[in-house]
Structure 1
Amino acid sequence: FAGGLTDDQRRQLFDEHVTWYRMYGMSMRPVPKTWEEFQEYWDHMCTNVLENNWAAREVLDLSTMPKHPSLEWVPDPLWKLNLLIMQRFLLFMTVGLYDPPVRELMGFTWSPRQEWVHRRIGNALHLATKLLPDRVMMHPRKRSAMDRAFGRLPVDAPLVETPAR
């Protein structure tokens, strides 16, 4: 989404990640030296190592996802309908982000038309993020922190909590 990164930006992002790994004291032994080496590692993992198992499939199943506390007002039957609709949409969006070998491994097909639709949805989401106010796009914790920092909330206001899962 959002047009992607150039090759130079990918290399820079990779190098910045390696810097963070070092700062946290992680072993550099398994870390590829360059973006290109990482690409080889990624291709190997996607093609030869990843498995189609219960955990890989379970993460795609949203059928039992609980309501966010802010949505408790939504009646349960309507929530179940929402899950049915969102399950299909989010599965489509997720599969579209998989590398082709992962799609194949997981038993998904992907047509040129699906790719076209996926890209159009990505473009629409990108446009929406540009048109919406920054505040709307913030994670609730960041928005709460910004509100405390700029005086919209008291400094000692309760922190936003992640709902129990």
Structure 2
Amino acid sequence: MRPSRAAADLADMAPESVLLAGAGRAVLLQLANPAVGHGVARHSDFAADPLKRLHATLSYVYALTNGTPAQQKLAKSSVQRAHLPVKGGSGPGHPAYDAADPALQLWVAATLYDSAMQTYSAVFPALAPDAANTIHRQYGVLGTALGMPAELWPSTRADFADYWNRQLGQLHVDDTIRAVARDLLAAQNAPVWIRALMPTARFLTKGLLPPSVRELYGFHWSPRQDKALAATFRAASVLVRITPAKIRHAPMRHYLRSLG
């Protein structure tokens, strides 16, 4: 079996199913922005359908990176339709929010990019600088497809790092957001096979979060767990070298088929 090569662009990188390990991280980072977190809390029922946001996000990402024009159009219209009612004024304990706010669209796209890069780099060979720059540039489409002005996406990886660090310092998690995260990570109403995977998903999500955000959520994390996480990714790096792309990319094909 030939070793997996490093991605050359986003279309190469996005189909890798190992990136799903960072999906929970991305969602919890999104929720830790109070405007996103309270918007989700007031307009989504995570207790009844905890994985709905995750499924919608994956459909959107796969369509924009590897879908046909028709699939891209359908995914964008679906997300835009879901976002229309997500707006509200500030109130006791929560800020105003609007899913059409370009700054919030930037944050959501940024969490997807950073989570994908963190997970990819833990498993695959290091990206060449040109490929890393290309993928960074291309990830901006996850925001611009929803209306975010292209100039909001940090122009270089260094600019992104500066933006990211500033945003991490502004995150805040209250009881409302913790309750949403708890429902997501419990996935009590999910199918049995998904519930069986949730202990692993919770472990990966907590371990991949930046320590400061992990602390905001009140998650315990020990040095022993950190060693276990590193061992998990070492094992994953072996598996991706011996697993055919057809299998590694199966989740993407599933989501694209669901779009028709």
Q: Name the TM tier (shorter chain).
A: 0.5 to 0.7
For 1:124 and 1:98, locate their aligned partners in 2 and report how far apart those are by CA, in whole Å: 20
* Residue 61 (1) aligns with residue 186 (2): yes
Q: Name the structure where helix makes up a greater proportion of residues.
A: 2
Q: Structure 1, residues 83-132: CA drift from partner, whole Å, max 9, x if none?
A: 2x532221011111111111111111322221111011111122112212
Identity level (%): 24
Q: 1:25 to 1:104 in 2, by over 3 A?
A: closer
The residue correspondences of 1:6-21 to structure 2 (distance < 5 A) are 8=129, 9-18=131-140
Greater shift after overlay, 126-135 or 21-30? Answer: 21-30
| Unaligned 5+ runs, structure 2 | 1-121
Aligned to 1:129: 240
| Unaligned 5+ runs, structure 1 | 68-78, 144-158
The TM-score with structure 1 as length reference comes to 0.62
SS in structure 1 opposite 2:150?
A: coil
For 1:20 and 1:89, locate their aligned partners in 2 and report how far apart those are by CA, in whole Å: 27
Q: How many equivalent pairs are there?
A: 134
For 1:40 and 1:58, locate their aligned partners in 2 and report how far apart those are by CA, in whole Å: 32
Aligned to 1:147: none
Aligned to 2:123: 2
Q: 1:5 to 1:107 in 2, by over 3 A?
A: farther
- The CA deviation at 1:50 is 4.3
For 1:10 and 1:141, locate their aligned partners in 2 and report how far apart those are by CA, in whole Å: 21
- The CA deviation at 1:19 is 7.0
- The CA deviation at 1:48 is 1.5
Q: Structure 1, residues 20-74: CA drift from partner, whole Å, max 9, x if none?
A: 866887413432232222112212222322434133333222222125xxxxxxx
SS in structure 2 opposite 1:64?
A: coil
For 1:56 and 1:96, locate their aligned partners in 2 and report how far apart those are by CA, in whole Å: 15
The residue correspondences of 1:15-54 to structure 2 (distance < 5 A) are 15-18=137-140, 26-52=148-174, 53=177, 54=179
For 1:96 and 1:128, locate their aligned partners in 2 and report how far apart those are by CA, in whole Å: 20
Q: 1:59 to 1:101 in 2, by over 3 A?
A: same
For 2:186 and 2:140, locate their aligned partners in 1 and report how far apart those are by CA, in whole Å: 33
The TM-score with structure 2 as length reference comes to 0.42
* Residue 108 (1) aligns with residue 219 (2): yes
Q: Which has the larger radius of gyration?
A: 1
Aligned to 2:204: 93
Greater relative contact order (CA < 8 Å, ≥ 6 in sequence): 2
Aligned to 1:149: none
Q: CA RMSD in A?
A: 3.4
Q: 1:116 to 1:141 in 2, by over 3 A?
A: closer
Greater shift after overlay, 51-60 or 5-14? Answer: 5-14
